[in-house]
A and B are shown apart, each in its own frame.
Chain A
Amino acid sequence: MKTINLSEVRDKVKDMVQEANFELQDDVLKVIKDMQAKEESPAGKAVFEQILKNSDIAKKDKLGLCQDTGLAIFFVELGEDVKLNKEDGLGSLKEAFEEGVRIGYKEGYLRKSVVEDPIRRKNTGDNTPVFIHWELEPGDTFKVTFIAKGGGAENMSQVRMFAPAAGKEGLEDFVVEVVDTAGSNPCPPIIVGVGVGGSFEYSALLAKKALLRKPLGSHNPDPFYEDMEKRLLERINNLGIGPQGMGGRCTALAVHVEAFPCHIASMPAAVNIQCHSHRVLKFEL
């Protein structure tokens, strides 16, 4: 049995929210540079240059890559055999995450982007609550994935319930339609997370998990979905939206599709849009 101190979780979380917001990871930078080389439009090339310059400054000065330092969203794979040591004033694992975010966002001069009620909209002041998706696993695994999710791209995301007859054509047309409708709004070049199958809420979760795939631009191990990802990326990049919507070859950096079993009557599909400032980090204890 593995014992994990909650203070260690808190401290890891505190560090990871800052590192994710200050530094683009190598896999993201690689895809950005690959796409920059392919971009034809002068405006698009200029945008790529600014994105890379921005990443240098953010890292050097420990400044948010983007002012929207996001909702703090975590996916936690928790082994059933893990023993949690409640110490240092931390009464639960959730509290360790909350405290890590609270300290990290304050210490890192990150923006507090959460309101306590969707209609009355008073800022909570510390970027909590955190959004945690728990996954109980056998054994003693403890894996955490963090994504700082900005509002601009999240707002352009959609869920739709298809009839099974829609098939792959229906799904692919939907994905392209969502990206086309989003246009310049979500800060292209974007990353497109697609979730197909599951249930209404599960498809949205799959779409978000699709965004977390590492390295960025790698493919679904199922060749059927690998082909779909390649086709979708090509169709999306033929839309002409381009970097920041000013026209160009690169509208998306990557398309990741995740599929799951579903009801005989349904084909739920979700598209989660992510901006080029793709801030995803993982740690294991």
Chain B
Amino acid sequence: MAEHHITTPVTDEVIGKLRAGDAIFISGYVYTGRDSAHKKLIDLIEEGKDLPVDLKGQFIYYVGPTPARPGKAIGSAGPTTSYRMDSFAPILHKLGLKGTIGKGTRSEKVKESLIKYKGVYLAAVGGAGALISQSIEEAEVIAYPELGPEAIRKIKVKDFPCIVINDMYGEDLYQDGKRQYQK
């Protein structure tokens, strides 16, 4: 299990080094988005319109944070369950999105899409939103403010801790881990 420090945006070469089970520390800008924001992005794509963000080489963090206290960048900000974004992820991978960050199992279609478009799926620790917020230095709502916690934010992260669940080689940490400890 290797450890990698990466900075966004990333290239295919960087993605190629990340293997299921590796620890990743992300620095740079990451976009947030969850259910409602994804629906809006996909509607724009279907209508042939431009997206409010350029996803090339980027990561989307599935999160709906608590409101920031005065003087803080963000509130509690742990990952939400990823499968709800499964139908959207391959469409965004096709547009150049390199990674998604959440928690929980992805569909076979998403895993195939990671192989096809050279991407990764990372997990942050669910239920550790207060701890994770310490790796977020800035946060700015850049689209859909009316969605409240579900708005798209551009966040600046420093050594944001994740684990690779699915890599571009078809490996799956959830399956491997479970197999190892099953009785």
Interface of A with B (CB < 8 Å)?
Answer: 40-41, 43, 47, 50-51, 53-54, 57-58, 61-69, 109-113, 121, 123, 125, 151-152, 155, 183-187, 238-242, 244-249, 275-277
Contact = CB atoms under 8 A, between A and B. Distances in A.
Contact of A240 (B77, B134, B149, B183): B183
Contacts of A184: 103-105, 123, 174
Contacts of B133: 63
B76 A66 contact: yes
Given A51-B125, A183-B105, A67 B64 contact: yes
7 contacts: A64-B76, A66-B129, A68-B129, A109-B66, A152-B80, A184-B174, A247-B176
Interface in B59-108: 63-69, 75-78, 80-81, 83, 103-105
Contacts of A58: 76, 129-130
Contact of B66 (A111, A121, A244): A111
Contacts of B48: none
Contact of A69 (B66, B77, B103, B179): B66
Contacts of A112: 148-149
Contacts of A54: 125, 127-132
Contact of B75 (A53, A67, A113): A67
Size band of the B side of the interface?
35 or more
B126 interface: yes
Contacts of A121: 36
- A-B complex: 4 closest residue pairs judged by Cβ atoms: A247-B177, A240-B182, A64-B76, A240-B181
A238 B182 contact: yes
B148 A242 contact: no
Interface of B: 21, 36, 63-69, 75-78, 80-81, 83, 103-105, 123, 125-134, 147-150, 163, 173-174, 176-183
Nearest to A41: B181
A239 B130 contact: no
A51 B128 contact: yes
Contact of A277 (B83, B103, B127, B163): B127
A181 to B, nearest CB: 10
B174 A65 contact: no
Contacts of A241: 178
User: Which of B64, B129, B132 has most A Cβ within 10 Å?
Assistant: B129
A249 B181 contact: yes
A47 B162 CA distance: 11
B81 A244 contact: no
B128 to A, nearest CB: 4
Contacts of A125: 148
A249 B179 CA distance: 12
A123 B179 contact: no
B65 A67 contact: yes
A277 B76 CA distance: 13
Contacts of B131: 50, 53-54, 57
Contact of A187 (B36, B76, B127, B182): B127
A276 B36 CA distance: 26
B30 to A, nearest CB: 15
Given A67-B66, A152-B81, A245-B105, 14 more contacts: A54-B127, A54-B132, A58-B129, A65-B130, A68-B129, A109-B69, A111-B149, A112-B148, A112-B149, A184-B105, A186-B104, A245-B174, A246-B163, A246-B174
